[in-house]
Amino acid sequence: MAPPDHRRPFKRPTISDQQRRRELSLLRQAQNRLDAQQRARCLASTVLSLEAPEPGPGPEPEPVLELELASESEYHVEEEEEGDSRSPSKEFDVRQASKLRGAEARKWFARQLMLPEWMIDVPDRLSQDWYVFARPSGKRCFVVSSNGITVSRLRNGSVLHRFPSALPGGARTRDVSGSAQSYSILDCIFHEIDQMYYVIDMVCWRGYSLYDCTAEFRFFWSNSKLNESGACDPPSQNHRYRFSLVPIYNCDENGLHAAYTGAVTYIKDGLLFYNKQAHYQTGNTPLALVWKDEKCSQYVIDTDSKGNVPRLQQVVLELQEDLKLITSDDPPVVFGCLDNDLVQKSGLCTGYLLKFAIGNGGLSFADGRLDRADLQYLGKSNRARAFADSYSKVIFQYAVRHSPLRIDDLLSAINSRDERENEHPDVEMID
């Protein structure tokens, strides 16, 4: 790779609020931690009040119990009525979900993966706050070991494999007596060439939830626990597929270079960036990012069903009841409206995933937001699709065709900040 250009990176026009949403996600995590701590304090105070000895002669004690119980009740109501619908603590029980069948099971599991956004702009403090690693090429999947069996499910929720494994609760010969607690959940990519499950994240281990743990801790836990379990051992009668960890680096200049150019045992499909403080949240998140170019991925520009790069960029959007076309984001981004005559003529219904081409008019932006999209209707999407495209994917693919974010831009962002910190070592850098 050519020596990095130490000039300041080219200032790209604002086409997204990705950085602002990253900051909001971190603030929301911090608030959730404070809420959880407050609920714990309320619960502890209630228990201590209940266990307090009977008061003897003397001043009447303050009515602490009543106040604490009321406070706990308020938090309980707030959690039920205003809590995040994606929160795993409210609805996630993998042992119950594993008993679901057919479309119901596919729909449930399709909502459980944390999906990285595509990198539209370079994050602030990239070298200090982020990890980077080479993404293995293959099928992204959720791997659940429970009740003596291991099941992997694809992004759309359909089953990829059922097999015995050395994961806790993953085979009849392992942890069967404690199977009620011995379940684990891994976020993996199945690499077909070597029949290997590459672990990119850990969600639960032996029944211990890692959802509210930072990526920094989850990666440490993965490294320390996976090898101990024997899951990285060669296949055997009770261990059908081998698991492997991917090398993870701090996203400084050396780490980015190692992830981008370093040798790995799998075919690369771009780079993944994880904010060190990011919790594991289901759905799209700006605290995890994917980036590609021609040197680290065979598939930078999306291809059609025949494997060819179409002349015009294609996108998949979801049709709403009011005929608006939206992305899979939360909240979704509206790309326009479909003509009512076309809807009736084609027999389209609410919730359908539809394929469009971005015409020669392209995409227009105003104040960092999408203003107009030249969409040409192509037809219904593949039935195997579970979600529409995310806004960041559409914009990344559009940028690749017109003004791509290059590896030199990432290196320049790292080097320019390092230079400013060296010039002012006693001043905290705030961008």
Q: Among 34-48, 99-113, 163-177, 214-228, where is mean pLDDT lowest?
A: 34-48
Provide CATH 3.30.470.30 ranges for the chain: 102-291
Measure CA 328 to chain center: 13
- DSSP run (H or E) holding 379: strand 369-380
Mean pLDDT calculated for residue range 387-408: 95
pLDDT single digits (tens) 277-306: 999 998 999 999 999 999 999 999 998 878
31 or 234, greater pLDDT: 234
Of the pLDDT bands very low, low, confident and very high (cuts 50, 70, 90), residue 118 is very high
- Find all residues with CB under 8 Å of 115, minimum gap 6, and list them: 283, 284, 285, 288, 390
Out of 36-50, 177-191, 351-365, give the one with best mean pLDDT: 351-365
pLDDT digits (tens, 9 = 90+) for 303-332: 887 888 999 999 999 999 999 999 999 889
pLDDT band at residue 9 using 50, 70 and 90 as cut-offs: very low
CATH 3.30.360.10 given to domain 102-291: no
pLDDT higher than 60, residue 92: no
- Convert 87-107 to b/e letters by CB count within 10 Å (16 or more is b): ebeeebebeebbeeeeeebbe
CA atoms within 13 A on the CB side of 322: 5
pTM: 0.79
Q: What is the mean pLDDT of residues 411-424?
A: 69
Q: 63-79 as b/e, with b when 16 or more CB fall inside 10 Å?
A: eeeeebbebbeeeeeee
For residue 263, pLDDT beyond 90: yes
**Residue 79 pLDDT more than 60?**
no
